[in-house]
Amino acid sequence: MSRIDQISELLKENPADSFLQHALALEYIKTNLDDEAKNIFEKLLLDNPDYVGSYYHLAKLYERLGEEQEAIKIYERGMDVAKNLNEQHAYNELKSAYEYLIY
């Protein structure tokens, strides 16, 4: 059974688990299933906007897809969330990636 299958099975038991959703999206990225990953990250952040770790990965995915303006929006939103949650490490990672993209 693949990791995607394993995580999907676990999600059947607990479909609202943000950690599992995030993990599944990362597995989709590893297998170049970018649309599936993007859909999961977008839904995850819609349902759980404080899941700060997903902003970085979604923005990086947008970058890879050539959607730089969307990536910038996601970095900015993620930085706002990280700042509000006092998640300094996440904020710094998002800011660094954001600055690298825009400069």
DSSP codes joined into one string, 7-21: HHHHHHH-TT-HHHH
Q: Could you report the per-residue pLDDT of 49-66, keeping only the tens digit for each? A: 999 999 999 999 999 999
Domain that holds residue 44: 3-102
Under 8 Å between Cβ of 24 and 11: yes
Is pTM beyond 0.85 here? yes
C-alpha span between 89 and 52 (Å, rounded): 11
Give residue 87's pLDDT. 98
CB 93 within 8 A of CB 75: no
Q: Say which CATH number the domain at 35 has.
A: 1.25.40.10
For the chain, the domain total comes to 1
Name the token pair of 100: 């690298």
